[in-house]
């Protein structure tokens, strides 16, 4: 198998890379990685602490873009562009769209602070700690050889996705499909529930205009 | 040293193209629209058929006062034109105009994903402008921009995926390299869907509901004056270049042509791009603006199913011929 040979070669290369330098002699890429990481972390902090809602969404763009740059520095070009495409191009646009449907005030929104902020902080720190622990435990001895052939090019990513990881990939597809069908069912159900209301309102004596309006809003 | 010089030269060429080609398209639009409507168009600036009209326009824009409304979110308002314009410059870097290493600014491994991702970022500029202007027309424009992007991004991605499947690669030079003439009838539905969705993403007529000047007064750009407004206009015309170039590269075979020497591939690319740019202008003169609900319906009930059918067709043919 050429793939097995290739992985063996990369494994040898990664161990060689691991031996060639230690933690205290960083290369230029490592320094850049660290600096971009700091910027990303700072942007993420501002995202959750700023009092201006739309600014939070825009700082989220910086955070997600910073992550994409980190992927690029690790030679995972494909993942980096998909990150920009999905998160910056679509998720943030959807978020801004939602924000614009609200009042989207310019300036500070003092009522944007939730009373649950400490609970949220605890959950966030716990989740981050669990993730960091799992990733460090799993990949402690794995090194990416940045000098050799790109380990994250489209070809390599595609091959590993559809050879080694095809079952999780398909499971995720089914999950997303279920979410899609669920969304359609929910939106259709709301319509079906609201449909009989006009006839209900013809009952004599039942003249409550505010309720009628809220019914109509429910159908939207 | 030689490498650095090479990179600098490529960047310079791309930058010059980025500054001149949109102006050429703009001037062509003036003249073509005028002649289609039985007028002459600009005739004075520069002497010969008003060739310097857009240069004069640029000078005018530079002289105007740069106004920021009192209620606006200053920094985001001022940043928005740059966010709208720069992505197109980056995309231009990745479009190959001829075969070989020398004819592309920077060969990107995942080229299709790069160009579509970066083009999507440009729309953030319009959204920022629409929100930060503190103007209800701007906000309406921003909303419509976002809705339009969400509707038309999907067919664009799907049709691009169809070509990538056909070529077996996602790199732009690789796709043109694999092109055969019979791809044209095979991918024609995808080509049309891609081009139309791209027009909608650029908010060109008949998909210009987000900027509808007679209705919401140029939407997100209502409050902009002077150079910043000119930057938004430049972004629109650079977007036309990028869209036509991408359609040429993905669907029309780029530098391949029925005849011509090996060294003249770039002429074919430019010719096809220019032809598509003419079609963009032609559509503007021909069709009235679509209403917002028609826009959404057009994408979700026509373009998305068509692009899915194109992907299915591509898959079937690919399996049959391999």
Q: Any idea what the CATH number is for the domain that residue A66 is in?
A: 1.20.120.1200
Q: Examine residue B272 and state whether it is found in any structural domain, yes or no.
A: yes
Do A9 and A37 reside in the same domain of the chain? no
Q: How far is A15 from chain B (nearest CA, A)?
A: 26
pTM: 0.80
> What's CA A75's distance to the chain center, in Å?
20
Q: How far is B290 from chain A (nearest CA, A)?
A: 21
Q: Examine residue A156 and state whether it is found in any structural domain, yes or no.
A: no
Residue A132 preceded by cis peptide, ω within 30 = no
Q: How far is B286 from chain A (nearest CA, A)?
A: 31
Q: Examine residue B11 and state whether it is found in any structural domain, yes or no.
A: no
Tens digits of residue pLDDT in A120-156: 889 989 999 999 999 888 887 777 676 666 667 777 8
Q: Examine residue A89 and state whether it is found in any structural domain, yes or no.
A: yes
Domain that holds residue B96: 69-321
Which residues on chain A are in Cβ contact (under 8 Å) with B170? 154
Given an 8 Å threshold on Cβ–Cβ distance, is B113 in contact with A88?
no
Which residues on chain B are in Cβ contact (under 8 Å) with A99? 131
Q: Examine residue B239 and state whether it is found in any structural domain, yes or no.
A: yes
Report residue B19 as tokens: 């500054």
Which residues on chain A are in Cβ contact (under 8 Å) with B157? 85
pLDDT at B134: 81
Distance CA B174, CA A149 (A): 19
Tens digits of residue pLDDT in A146-198: 666 666 777 788 888 888 888 998 999 999 999 999 988 888 876 666 655 55
Do A180 and A147 reside in the same domain of the chain? no
Give the residue numbers in B contacting A (CB under 8 Å), as ranges: 71-73, 76, 108-110, 113-114, 116-118, 120-121, 123-124, 127-128, 130-132, 134, 139, 142-143, 146-147, 149-150, 153, 157, 170-171
Do A2 and A47 reside in the same domain of the chain? no
Do A120 and A197 reside in the same domain of the chain? no
Tens digits of residue pLDDT in B130-170: 888 888 888 888 888 888 888 888 899 899 989 888 888 88
> What ipTM describes this predicted complex?
0.80
Q: Examine residue B269 and state whether it is found in any structural domain, yes or no.
A: yes
Tens digits of residue pLDDT in B176-192: 888 888 888 888 898 99
Q: How many separate domains does chain B show?
A: 1
Tens digits of residue pLDDT in B256-293: 777 766 677 778 888 888 999 999 989 888 888 888 88
Contact at 8 Å (CB) between B289 and B212? Answer: yes
State the Rg of chain B over Cα. Answer: 20
Do A8 and A68 reside in the same domain of the chain? no
Report residue A115 as tokens: 């009373």
Distance CA A108, CA B108 (A): 41
Option in B71, B121, B132 nearest A89 (CB): B121
Do A100 and A146 reside in the same domain of the chain? no
Q: Examine residue A64 and state whether it is found in any structural domain, yes or no.
A: yes
Q: Examine residue B214 and state whether it is found in any structural domain, yes or no.
A: yes
Q: Examine residue A5 and state whether it is found in any structural domain, yes or no.
A: yes
Q: Examine residue B281 and state whether it is found in any structural domain, yes or no.
A: yes
Chain A residue nearest residue B170, CA to CA: A154
Q: Examine residue A157 and state whether it is found in any structural domain, yes or no.
A: no
Q: How far is A82 from chain B (nearest CA, A)?
A: 7
Do A98 and A74 reside in the same domain of the chain? yes
What count of CB pairs under 8 Å joins A to B? 86
Given an 8 Å threshold on Cβ–Cβ distance, is B146 in contact with A93?
yes
Do A15 and A91 reside in the same domain of the chain? no
Q: Examine residue A160 and state whether it is found in any structural domain, yes or no.
A: no
Report residue A168 as tokens: 């999780």
Tens digits of residue pLDDT in B4-63: 787 788 888 888 888 888 888 888 888 888 888 888 878 887 778 888 888 888 888 888
Q: How far is B258 from chain A (nearest CA, A)?
A: 32
Mean pLDDT confidence for B207-214: 81
Domain that holds residue A213: 165-220
Q: Examine residue B45 and state whether it is found in any structural domain, yes or no.
A: no
pLDDT at A217: 41
CA atoms within 13 A on the CB side of A122: 3
Which residues on chain B are in Cβ contact (under 8 Å) with A150? 109
Q: How many separate domains does chain A show?
A: 3
- Contacts of residue A58, defined as CB under 8 A and 6 or more positions apart, other chains included, come to B76, B128
3-state secondary structure chain B: CHHHHHHHHHHHHHHHHHHHHHHHHHHHHHHHHHHHCCCCCCCCCCCHHHCCHHHHHHHHHHHCCCCCCCCCCHHHHHHHHHHHHHHHHHHHHHCCCCCCHHHCCCCCCCHHHHHHHHHHHHHHHHHHHHHHCCCHHHHHHHHHHHHHHHHHHHHHHHHHHHHHHHHCCCCHHHHHHCCCCCHHHHCHHHHHHHHHHHHHHHCCCCCCCCCCHHHHCCHHHCCCCHHHHHHHHHHHHHHHHHHHHHHHHHHCCCCCCCCCCHHHHHHHHHHHHHHHHHHHHHHHHHCCCCCHHHHHHHHHHHHHHHHHHHHHHHHHHHHHHC
Which residues on chain A are in Cβ contact (under 8 Å) with B137? none
Q: Examine residue A60 and state whether it is found in any structural domain, yes or no.
A: yes
Distance CA B18, CA B12 (A): 10
Query: Does the pLDDT at position B253 exceed 70?
Result: yes
Given an 8 Å threshold on Cβ–Cβ distance, is B153 in contact with A89?
yes
Do A10 and A72 reside in the same domain of the chain? no
Which residues on chain B are in Cβ contact (under 8 Å) with A97? 143, 146-147, 150
Distance CA A74, CA A146 (A): 7
Which residues on chain B are in Cβ contact (under 8 Å) with A58? 76, 128
Q: How far is A100 from chain B (nearest CA, A)?
A: 7
pLDDT at B309: 92
Chain B residue nearest residue A83, CA to CA: B117
Tens digits of residue pLDDT in A46-96: 888 887 888 888 899 899 999 999 888 888 888 888 888 888 888 888 888
Domain boundary among the residues A151, A177, A205 is at: A151
Distance CA A54, CA A93 (A): 11
């Amino acid at each position: 198998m050429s793939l097995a040979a290739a992985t063996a070669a990369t494994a040898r290369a990664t161990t060689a890379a691991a031996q060639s330098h230690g933690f205290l002699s960083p290369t230029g890429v490592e320094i850049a990685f660290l600096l971009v990481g700091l910027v990303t972390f700072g942007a993420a902090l501002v995202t959750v602490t700023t009092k201006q809602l739309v600014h939070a969404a825009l700082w989220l763009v910086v955070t997600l873009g910073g992550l994409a740059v980190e992927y690029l520095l690790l030679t995972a070009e494909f993942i980096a562009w998909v990150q920009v495409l999905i998160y910056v191009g679509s998720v943030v646009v959807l978020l801004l769209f939602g924000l614009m449907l609200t009042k989207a005030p310019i300036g500070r929104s003092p009522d944007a602070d939730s009373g649950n902020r400490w609970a949220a902080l605890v959950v966030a720190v716990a989740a981050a700690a669990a993730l960091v622990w799992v990733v460090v435990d799993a990949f402690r001895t794995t090194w990416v050889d940045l000098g050799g052939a790109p380990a994250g090019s489209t070809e390599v990513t595609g091959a590993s996705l559809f050879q080694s990881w095809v079952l999780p990939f398909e499971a995720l597809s089914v999950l997303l499909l279920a979410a899609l069908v669920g969304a359609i069912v929910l939106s259709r159900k709301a319509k079906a529930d609201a449909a009989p209301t006009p006839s209900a309102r013809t009952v004599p004596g039942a003249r409550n205009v505010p309720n009628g309006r809220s019914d109509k809003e429910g159908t939207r | 040293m030689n490498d650095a010089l090479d990179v600098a030269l490529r960047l310079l060429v791309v930058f010059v193209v980025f500054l001149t080609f949109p102006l050429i398209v703009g001037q062509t639009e003036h003249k073509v629209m005028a002649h289609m409507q039985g007028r002459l168009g600009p005739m004075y600036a520069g002497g010969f058929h008003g060739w310097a009209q857009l240069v004069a326009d640029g000078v005018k824009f530079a002289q105007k006062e740069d106004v920021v409304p009192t209620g606006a979110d200053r920094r985001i308002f001022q940043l928005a034109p740059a966010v709208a314009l720069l992505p197109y410059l980056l995309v231009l870097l990745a479009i190959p105009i001829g075969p070989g290493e020398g004819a592309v600014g920077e060969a990107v491994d995942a080229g299709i994903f790069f160009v579509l991702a970066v083009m999507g970022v440009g729309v953030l500029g319009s959204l920022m402008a629409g929100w930060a202007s503190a103007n209800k027309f701007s906000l309406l424009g921003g909303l419509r921009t976002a809705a339009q992007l969400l509707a038309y991004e999907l067919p664009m991605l799907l049709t691009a995926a169809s070509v990538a499947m056909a070529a077996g690669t996602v790199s732009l030079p690789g796709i043109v390299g694999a092109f055969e003439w019979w791809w044209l009838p095979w991918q024609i539905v995808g080509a049309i869907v891609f081009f139309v969705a791209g027009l909608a993403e650029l908010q060109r007529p008949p998909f210009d509901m987000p900027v509808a000047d007679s209705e919401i007064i140029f939407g997100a750009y209502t409050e902009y004056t002077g150079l910043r407004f000119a930057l938004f206009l430049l972004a629109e015309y650079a977007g036309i270049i990028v869209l036509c170039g991408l359609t040429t590269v993905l669907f029309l075979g780029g530098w391949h042509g029925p005849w011509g020497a090996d060294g003249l591939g770039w002429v074919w690319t430019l010719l096809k791009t220019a032809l598509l740019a003419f079609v963009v202008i032609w559509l503007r003169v021909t069709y009235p603006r679509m209403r917002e609900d028609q826009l959404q319906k057009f994408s979700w009930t026509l373009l998305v199913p068509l692009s899915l059918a194109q992907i299915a067709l591509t898959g079937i043919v690919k399996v049959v011929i391999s």
